[in-house]
Amino acid sequence: MQGRIVITGMGTVNPLGLSVRESWDNVIAGVSGVAPITLFDSSSLAVHIAAEVKGFKPENYMDPREARRRDRFEQFTIAAAREALTDSGLEITEANAGRIGVIISSAIGGLQSLQDAVLVNHTEGPRRVSPFLIPMLMANGGAGMTAIEFGIKGPCFSVASACASGSDGIGTALMMLHTGMIDAALAGASEATITSTGVAAFDRVGAMSRQNGNLSMIPQPFDKNRDGLVMGEGAAVLVLEREADAKARGANILAELAGYGATADAHHVTAPQENGEGGAAAIRMALASAKADFEDVNYINAHGTGTLLNDQTETRAVKAVFGDLAYKIPISSTKSMTGHMMGATGALEAIFCVQAVRQGILPPTIHYETPDPECDLDYVPNKAREANISLAISNAFGFGGHNAVLAVRKYI
């Protein structure tokens, strides 16, 4: 272990904004990013709502010609990485480029590009398939194109662990920094699955809310009347460095990335283990990694998808770890506002944890109306709350039984 690992920069595009500041302001205000789908004609589907990134113009972040050769999830990645690097003030030079890593994950990759190519191949033949298809659809495309865009030559890859991908990528970067393999990292995730295929597939699994006409109350994490998630999209990237290096260059340290835990349920390909054992083990691992006691945790940013089983399972996991303390720890699901950004969701929620410990404000869980006896903790209903937060944890649980937990500590 080589000292503390700190966060010096953050960037995001998501359904609540095209920057960290805009997104945080909207989260604290309880703004919902859910609206009717505009990216494609959803009339043939059972689901017509999603949390889309609004007003995004890729040419504002990259060369327009290059933008046309990149899938939407890759465009999001470059935008978030550019903001994170600017925020951090980290200069990439020939001398340090090989000591900086890019671990930017995606659970699914370029789904729209793949969907379009399948249609072209079927209707027009294989010679009409784009020669840029492979780099547009591969899940590591966001990481690779970020390295190219900014001239970063250290380890570069993507972690794919479903909805835990972003958190696992950040946790992997944390471990690489601790071993001394790299001096700094861009870590996070990006996803753009709001396509006809993506929405149809998640709906067929039974995960999606179909309350298309009830935008003022959907999704409803932890509420008794919840009926499923709403799909979101976007990217979030953090700049991580060793504390000594960050201080030496006069960086503005935002928070400490204190711990990481990861486990597998080994139970079912989509459903979580109902007793929450896997999630609980990941929380314990993250706290042990952070050298933190259970009493130190002041806030939990929940996975909180708004599906019946996920919310109950996560509540059981929290109770299994914290016992009676669980009733004193505020918990919120920011997915009630951003929707579920799949592989990118944990990375954005890590940013929200950083903002919570820095500013002493707890994001709300909006749309919370009717308590569920099985979900009986403090979910910060509907309105943000001021609080002194020294340690926050972010839970991300994914299909396949992947559990990843990050611990973020206030930097003093």
Active site residues: 163, 303, 340
* Spatial distance between the Cα atoms of 244 and 173, rounded to a whole number of angstroms: 17
Amino acid (one-letter) located at 360: G
Strand partners, 234: 191
Task: Give one word for 346, left, alpha or beta, with left for phi > 0 and alpha for psi -120 to 50.
Answer: alpha
For residues 391 and 373, give the distance between their C-alpha atoms in angstroms, rounded to a whole number: 27
In sign, the C-alpha dihedral spanning 153, 155, 161, 167 is: negative
Whether residue 38 contacts residue 271, with contact meaning beta carbons closer than 8 Å, is answered with no
* Separation in Å, CA 183 to CA 2, 373, 392: 11, 47, 24
Residues in the chain: 412
Q: Name which of 146, 135, 55, 36 is nearest 100 in CA terms.
A: 146
Residue 158: beta bridge partners? none
CB atoms within 10 A of CB 402: 25
Check the CA dihedral 116-118-124-125 and report its sign.
Answer: positive
- Are residues 102 and 36 in contact, defined by beta-carbon separation less than 8 angstroms? no
Between CA 56 and CA 35 the distance in angstroms is 16
